[in-house]
Amino acid sequence: MSEIKHVKPSIQEVLESGKFLVTGEIGPPKGPDIAEMTEHIELLKDKVHAMNITDNQSSVMRYPSIGTALLIKEMGGEPILQVTCRDRNRMAIEADLLFAYTRGVRSVLCLTGDSIPVGDHKDAKSVFDLESAQLLNLIRTMEDGKDTGGNEMNGSVSFFKGAIVTPEADPLEPQLMKFKKKVDAGAQWFQTQAIYDMDHFAKFMKVAREYDIKLQAGLVLLVSAGMAKYMNANVPGVMVPQDLIDEMASAEKGKALDTGIKIMARQIRQIREEGLADGVHIMAIGKEGVVPRILEEAELDISAL
């Protein structure tokens, strides 16, 4: 295998050096015009340690996560490849992972994936040959030089393996069982579903800290009070406390985004100061451009860590 040049440290190296891991997210576009996405990558690549690339997010067909991961690599950034089980069976996933590995992708976030009917290809056959815990285990198998058919490969891969956990899931107990299964299946680090209530999060972290894993708090930028209410009503496992909704609602006209940025910056500072998590994962859905501002307000400069 030709040597891959890594411009940035891997997120595993960042976490193991004890630094606060800051990641952002790139949502690939619907169609071949990648100009705007390329701008976002350019904007983020030196401000965050790495960027998640969503995989046909919300079951909406888009530019591929693996292609975007390579693009980020080419541009001198560090990608986190998201892999879902919704539209690829174990064979296809294994082949994709071989490709990703040989092109220098080092971190993979394993998800089950949204269901087909919530997306924009409602008649498509859904796959779900595997789910997230089995996907983690599949990678482990490939790290032992085998595929899940039990066949020897001509070498092995190695990835830093991640998964998602939902601290506000209702009911919580089955979610915690699955969390443990993911740890046992090889997850080394976690990103959470969006969290807003820091007290709840701190309680959850007491449980999470029992495992030998790293964990990033997932933060989604609020852009309006309406969005906060919508998330409460419609996004499973997300709970925006009333005081934050009020804070968003009290923003002056045209200033809701500023308030959202202020809230997130405050949360980042709190997580860092109180050592609540090993890092943050910032999701500024559709507003990637403001991420540098959030980090500035949070006084978080990764080059100074």
Partner 1 sequence: MIITNQKPFETILKELEDAKSVFLVGCGDCATLCETGGTDQVAEMAEKLKAEGKLITGMIVPDVGCHELDVKKEFRVHKDELEKADALLVMSCGAGCQAARSATDKPIMPSNDTLFLGNIMRYGQFEEKCRLCGDCLLDVTGAICPVARCHKGILNGPCGGTNEGKCEVDPEKDCAWTLIYQQLEKEGKLDKMREYRPPKNWNAVLKPGRHAIERKKGGEANE
Q: Interface residues with partner 1 (CB under 8 A)?
A: 90, 111-112, 114-115, 117-118, 126, 128-134, 137-138, 148, 164, 166, 169-171, 173-175, 177-178, 180-181, 184-185, 193, 236-237
Pick 62 or 178: Cβ nearer partner 1: 178
Minimum distance, C-beta of residue 305 to partner 1, in the bound complex (Å): 30
Pick 48 or 111: Cβ nearer partner 1: 111
Minimum distance, C-beta of residue 222 to partner 1, in the bound complex (Å): 20
Task: Return d(Cα 3, Cα 205) in angstroms, integer.
Answer: 39
Task: Return d(Cα 59, Cα 65) in angstroms, integer.
Answer: 13
Q: Are 21 and 15 in contact (CB under 8 A)?
A: yes
Pick 27 or 104: Cβ nearer partner 1: 27
Q: Show the tokens assigned to 283.
A: 């999701």
Minimum distance, C-beta of residue 174 to partner 1, in the bound complex (Å): 4
Minimum distance, C-beta of residue 203 to partner 1, in the bound complex (Å): 19
Task: Return d(Cα 201, Cα 271) in angstroms, integer.
Answer: 10
Q: Which helix (H) or strand (E) holds 265?
A: helix 256-273
Query: What single string gives the DSSP state of each residue in 141-178?
Result: HHHTTB-TTSPBPSS----EEEEEE-TT-SSHHHHHHH
Pick 12 or 54: Cβ nearer partner 1: 54
Pick 23 or 166: Cβ nearer partner 1: 166
Reduced to 3 states (helix: H, G, I; strand: E, B; else coil), residue 205 is: helix
The strand pair at 21-26 and 79-83 is best described as: unpaired
Minimum distance, C-beta of residue 213 to partner 1, in the bound complex (Å): 16
